[in-house]
């Protein structure tokens, strides 16, 4: 079975090759692409968007506090270097997890150069994490190289098909695309320079999902098998839903509750939201891929006060990450209520120097301060797995009563 545009489709003809290209009334369906995520590296590799990780000999990733060690911007390109330790490497992945939208196509697109492709090691690019993914894989042996189309589900590589390259020189810049139907069981296609190079026709053959989790980060990875560094270079990347739109999300909120909490002029953590990187699922460990959008913050204090939002990653805000967090209702993410003398605030004071102040809004005594995050569609305020978001209140006069509420939505 095939899907998508076909090279033989002529202008003026109905595009498509299945019985569902018309709606129930016989009208031709029109598909408009909607970009869920894209990346450029013109001047840097922004830490707000990307996370760098080191990869050890067992393939375990250790997130770093910032990009720039082995993942850099050079000449406007992303450059992912493996380092020079045998059987180890580095990767960079999006903090966002662009989620497949049901009954839509999903398209990953990038431009890649792989200098010295015969170098002994592995380079990967696509939408993938340690458990699931759809990606390209270039393996060098020291004297030759092979490019593979790969699909991974629940920690197991299900497809690793060698691609016939012909005259394609992977050391030079080419555009690479991966397109899939998913729906849990649909087909997959890999293309180079807009020409199909492999189709994984799994429809009607499976007894499990083809990819267990379709909310996949964008990832670029380089691992050397020797002490010679290998590099992966990219010009840009995009993940698009074919016929979809801005992702649907479910609203939620947390508050300090009916009892007023104490804030003071130090600035106390009143509320916290934590998106853990992993969760227990099916008797094992799965990666958390449910991103969150922070939409509004309200706060009331008996005296003049500043209401603030702080953000830290769990690999640097280690005291906060080590707390026992409470599960949000009907969610895989977590929260805590704080206030002066609370465990949340104690951990915040210890980790404060490693966190970033994002919002600082002052309000008058006994007035409710409402902070609405602007640009919902153009620039939503995403919190992603690994993030700890805190509501902090700083009262001018010292100990003062406070009540705060944080509003958010989750991709489910």
Boundaries of every domain in the chain: 33-242, 250-410
Residue 197: both structure tokens together: 């190079």
Q: What is the pLDDT of residue 13?
A: 59
Q: What is the pLDDT of residue 1?
A: 35
> Kind and range of the H or E element at 320?
helix 318-321
Would you call 125 helix, strand, or coil by DSSP?
Answer: strand
Q: What is the pLDDT of residue 377?
A: 64
Q: Quick check: do 33-242 and 250-410 share a fold?
A: yes
Q: What is the pLDDT of residue 8?
A: 42
> Kind and range of the H or E element at 94?
strand 88-94
Q: Which CATH class is domain 250-410?
A: mainly beta
Sign, Cα dihedral of 224, 127, 282, 288: positive
- Give CA–CA dist 274/290, Å, rounded: 12
Stretches in the chain below the pLDDT threshold 50: 1-11
Share in percent of the chain as helix, strand, coil (round to 5): 5, 50, 50
Would you call 284 helix, strand, or coil by DSSP?
Answer: strand
CA-to-CA separations, 196 to 4, 132, 186, 263, 391, in angstroms, rounded: 11, 22, 17, 61, 49
Kindly report the CA angle at 371 between 37 and 317, in degrees rounded to 5? 65
Summarize pLDDT for 263-280 with one digit per residue, the tens: 999 999 999 999 999 999
Q: What is the pLDDT of residue 2?
A: 38
Q: What is the pLDDT of residue 278?
A: 96
- Give CA–CA dist 404/307, Å, rounded: 9
- Give CA–CA dist 222/91, Å, rounded: 6
Kindly report the CA angle at 292 between 130 and 217, in degrees rounded to 5? 25
| Domain 33-242, CATH | 2.60.120.200
Asked whether 102 and 183 are in contact (CB, 8 A), the reply is yes
């Amino acid at each position: 079975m095939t899907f998508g545009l076909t090279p033989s489709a002529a202008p003026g003809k109905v595009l498509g090759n299945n019985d569902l290209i018309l709606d129930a009334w016989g009208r031709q369906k029109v598909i408009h692409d909607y970009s869920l995520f894209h990346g450029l590296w013109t001047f840097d590799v922004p830490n707000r968007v990307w996370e760098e990780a080191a990869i050890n000999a067992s393939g375990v990733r250790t997130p770093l506090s910032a990009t720039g060690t082995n993942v850099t911007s050079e000449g406007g390109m992303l450059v992912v270097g493996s380092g020079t330790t045998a059987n180890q490497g580095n990767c960079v992945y999006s903090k966002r997890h662009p989620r497949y939208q049901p009954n839509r196509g999903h398209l990953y697109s990038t431009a890649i150069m792989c200098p010295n492709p015969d170098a002994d090691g592995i380079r990967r690019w696509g939408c993938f994490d340690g458990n699931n993914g759809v990606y390209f894989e270039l393996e060098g042996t020291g004297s030759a190289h092979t490019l593979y189309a790969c699909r991974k589900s629940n920690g197991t590589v299900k497809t690793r098909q060698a691609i016939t390259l012909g005259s394609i020189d992977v050391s030079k810049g080419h555009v690479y695309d991966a397109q899939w139907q998913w729906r849990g069981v649909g087909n997959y296609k890999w293309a180079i320079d807009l020409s199909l190079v492999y189709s994984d026709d799994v429809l009607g053959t499976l007894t499990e999902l083809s990819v267990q989790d379709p909310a996949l980060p964008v990832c670029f990875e380089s691992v050397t098998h020797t002490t010679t560094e290998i590099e992966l270079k990219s010009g840009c990347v995009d993940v698009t839903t074919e016929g979809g739109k801005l992702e649907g999300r479910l609203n939620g909120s947390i508050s300090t509750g009916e009892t007023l909490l104490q804030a003071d002029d130090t600035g106390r953590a009143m509320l916290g939201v934590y998106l853990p990187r992993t969760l227990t699922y099916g008797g094992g460990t799965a990666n958390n891929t449910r991103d969150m959008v922070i939409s509004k913050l309200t706060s009331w204090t008996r005296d003049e006060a500043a209401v603030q939002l702080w953000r830290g990653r769990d690999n640097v805000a280690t005291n906060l990450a080590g707390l026992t967090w409470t599960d949000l209702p009907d969610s895989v993410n977590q929260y805590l209520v704080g206030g002066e003398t609370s465990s949340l605030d104690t951990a915040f004071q210890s980790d404060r120097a490693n966190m970033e102040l994002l919002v600082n809004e002052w309000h008058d005594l006994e007035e409710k301060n409402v902070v609405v995050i602007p640009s919902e569609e153009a620039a939503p305020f995403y919190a992603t797995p690994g993030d700890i978001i805190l509501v902090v209140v700083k009262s001018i006069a010292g100990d003062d009563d406070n009540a705060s509420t944080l509003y958010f939505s989750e991709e489910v």
